[in-house]
Chain A
Amino acid sequence: MACAQEAPARREASEPGVKAAFLYKFASYVEWPASAFAGPNSPFVIGVLGAEEVASELERIVQGKSVHGHPAAMRRVKEGESLAGVHVLFVGRGLMNLRGILRGAQQPGTLLVTDVDRGLEMGSAINFVFADDRVGFEVSVEAAERNGLKISSRMLNVARRVVSR
């Protein structure tokens, strides 16, 4: 029988850094409809709401990168701001009206990512979880599809929990 062994764990990067990296990486495993972009050179926008540490990490990460052929960009989003042109929206955990924000953020072409318990149940497509001393995530295929997005099965392999219809 094959035996797999884990390599010795290395010191984890800072949690906001890991989350920022994951946010950027999620984009590779999700398919957006062509209508989500204004033009071939319009940017791929990752919006961050209420998580400054993640925002600043992410800002560094996307520098000079591109996603699906579009230059990647990070945008700090404020509550009540228009979400037009935002492809990924990360909503931090310290917000009061999380549920309301999420509801308002539901729109085609936007992938909602949360970082709270029962995040998926509140309507996000991906929710960060922390277990076994490392950052993981869970996925709701249903929520993504509602907004017209397809999540790659390769990513689902790595997810802690997958919710589908």
Chain B
Amino acid sequence: MTFQDHIRRSLRTRVMLLVLVTTVSALLLSGAGLVIYDLRSYERQWTNDMVATAEIVARASAPALAFNDRRTASGDLSVLRTRSRILGAALYTRDGELFATYQQPGMKIPFPDHPEPNGYSVAGDQMVVFRRVVENNEPIGTVYLRTLYRPYDRLRDYLTIIVGVMVASFAAAALFSGWLQSAVTRPILEVARVARDVREKRDYSLRAPKSTEDEIGELVDAFNEMLAEAGRRAEAMREADRRKDEFLATLAHELRNPLAPIRNALEILRLTKDDPERSRVAREMMERQLVQMVRLVDDLLDVSRITTGKLAVRKAVVDLQGIVRDAIETVRPFIEARRHVLDVRMDDEVIRVEADRTRLGQVFSNLLNNAAKYTHPGGRIELSVSREGSAAVVRVKDNGIGLAPESLGAIFEMFVQVDRSLERSQAGLGVGLTLARRLVELHEGDLQVASEGTGKGSQFTVRLPLALGNLAKDPAAAAEAATHPTSRRVLIADDNEDFAASLADLLSANGHDVRVVHDGQQALEVAPAFEPQVAFLDIGMPKVHGYELARRLRALPQTTRCVLVAVTGWGQEDDRRRARDAGFDRHLVKPVDPRQVAAIVEGY
């Protein structure tokens, strides 16, 4: 690791460096300034001092010079012995002759032969001063002083002090950065360590320790909250994963379940060609299993719609009792198979709601199916339809296995099945209640569950807003239409000949006039003369596909008012939209329910 890397990576090093650089540069700058200032003032001061000394000596020795008294002059000079830095001194007469001298013991200094004018000069570590002796305004001689001049001693002292301060600063910086590490970097490193641990161990219960209430403390708090949130999300994802896995297992099981009886039935059909009674039983068994499979696949499609948020309803004003009755009829075989008693109470007055008949029927059949499934055989199921204030209320109550209080919220979650011990053939995919609640919500209503506890039965309540207007159709006329079907001209275009034939048979049996073609081209040829009132068109046909066919039929004067029904294997919202755009009135997903086909043809 290079030094730059180290600096970039360690906050402590950076702080220490900052402190050191600041301190050292401050010290060096101020030290240099002080030294320069001091050396200058030292020189000035020392010079002044020496000049003053020379002046004093001059004044003291003026009489000795004046009266030519060398002995006294020498005595005067020897006073300088108290000044240890003065190495030597001399007096010169006015004529420039050496008059008297003094030098420090042990010193042997050369005295200049002749005095110089007033002034001083520095040579090496010594300073030399000349000073005129003046008496009565007349020069009578010269004083000469030689002294030690050692500014570098001071410089050295200064450097020693600066180095000392620097060492102290380094120590302070080390202490400071140490303290800073414990206050700042250590908690941060701790947070980083915990983050690493969490990443490695996937343990979201780990928490970074909080030691201060300052900004670092806030960081630690925020980090811990984030961990908690991440933990919750990870847990939620695990839970969703687990449920999806269970769902896939259930799905595989559920799809496989009906296959065994169907295979058996096929075998029976093959073996008992000549026994109509046993063939009928086998067919019926296959039919029931097929219905079961179709329901499963429908559920799957609904799951897909729920998860992608594409579950949609097409509402019209409908009568609630009628929908409930249809739902009861759908589930009745299952209820009877489980030997339940079904008690139905409905208001006599017709309750009208704005709803998608099929989807709302699905809600009630899901609730009834659930009640029957989660009630031990021979139980009791009560169903009531009533009007409470401005709401229509449907209650489905059973005396079945009930729900623990803690499961009340969970049962509406996708893929949740409260009792996994139930017979698998009845288990379903665990999406029924999710779908039911979602559908009720799409009708601006709500679905609630209540249970007094495990084993004490449960009650589901659906509330829907009442429709504002009256029922669109006259109920009497509707009943007339249902009881006296009239013959319609029906065109079936499908390249699946079996499907086309079976649908044709079904409609012919109900007294309708049916034509079958196997591609779009044929359909266009037949349509103008036949003038169909209802047309079932496959989408994926050779020559002219369903969408194109629909557009062309809409363009023909003979079929412009024809009811066009798309029949496809694809029931996604996108497919429905494309069908609508092409001019289709209805959209059926294979396998089609014969009753739905009858309803469309007869409802025309």
- Chain A residues within 8 Å of B, Cβ to Cβ: 1-10, 18, 22, 25, 27-29, 65-67, 134-137, 152, 154-155, 157-158
In the bound complex, do residue A7 and residue B97 qualify as a contact, i.e. CB atoms below 8 Å apart?
yes
In the bound complex, do residue A7 and residue B78 qualify as a contact, i.e. CB atoms below 8 Å apart?
no
Residues from chain A with Cβ under 8 Å of B99 in the complex:
7
Closest B residue by C-beta to A135: B68
- Given known pairs A7-B98, A28-B135, the reply for A22 and B81 (CB within 8 Å) is no
9 closest pairs, A vs B, by CB?
A4-B74, A2-B81, A2-B78, A7-B98, A28-B136, A6-B70, A158-B63, A158-B69, A158-B67
A3-B102, A4-B77 given; 12 more Cβ-contact pairs under 8 Å: A7-B100, A9-B70, A18-B68, A25-B66, A29-B63, A65-B138, A66-B137, A67-B136, A134-B68, A157-B63, A158-B66, A158-B67
The complex places the Cα of A25 from the Cα of B135 at a distance, in Å, of 9
Per-residue CB contact flags for chain B residues 99-124 toward chain A (1 = under 8 Å, else 0) read 11111110000000000000000000
- Given known pairs A5-B101, A7-B100, A134-B68, the reply for A154 and B63 (CB within 8 Å) is yes
Q: Which of B64, B66, B105 contacts A2 (CB 8 A)?
A: B105
- Given known pairs A7-B97, A25-B135, A155-B63, the reply for A2 and B80 (CB within 8 Å) is yes
Closest B residue by C-beta to A134: B68
Residues from chain B with Cβ under 8 Å of A2 in the complex:
78, 80-81, 102, 104-105
Residues from chain A with Cβ under 8 Å of B77 in the complex:
4
In which size bucket is the chain B interface?
A: 20 to 34
Residues from chain A with Cβ under 8 Å of B98 in the complex:
7-8
Closest B residue by C-beta to A8: B98
> Between A and B, how many residue pairs show CB distances below 8 Å?
71
Is B8 on the interface with A (CB-CB < 8 A)? no
Q: What distance in Å separates the Cβ of A144 from its nearest Cβ neighbour in chain B? A: 16
Closest A residue by C-beta to B66: A25
Per-residue CB contact flags for chain B residues 52-93 toward chain A (1 = under 8 Å, else 0) read 000000011011101111111011111011000000000000
The complex places the Cα of A13 from the Cα of B38 at a distance, in Å, of 51
In the bound complex, do residue B62 and residue A154 qualify as a contact, i.e. CB atoms below 8 Å apart?
yes
Q: What distance in Å separates the Cβ of B252 from its nearest Cβ neighbour in chain A? A: 123
The complex places the Cα of A37 from the Cα of B137 at a distance, in Å, of 21
In the bound complex, do residue A6 and residue B100 qualify as a contact, i.e. CB atoms below 8 Å apart?
yes
Residues from chain B with Cβ under 8 Å of A154 in the complex:
59-60, 62-63
16 A-B interface contacts by CB (under 8 A): A4-B74, A4-B75, A4-B77, A4-B100, A5-B100, A5-B101, A6-B100, A7-B70, A7-B101, A29-B63, A136-B69, A157-B64, A157-B72, A158-B66, A158-B67, A158-B72
Closest B residue by C-beta to A3: B105
Closest A residue by C-beta to B135: A28
In the bound complex, do residue B100 and residue A136 qualify as a contact, i.e. CB atoms below 8 Å apart?
no
Residues from chain A with Cβ under 8 Å of B101 in the complex:
4-5, 7
Residues from chain B with Cβ under 8 Å of A136 in the complex:
67, 69
The complex places the Cα of A159 from the Cα of B459 at a distance, in Å, of 143
Residues from chain A with Cβ under 8 Å of B104 in the complex:
2
Q: What distance in Å separates the Cβ of B56 from its nearest Cβ neighbour in chain A? A: 12
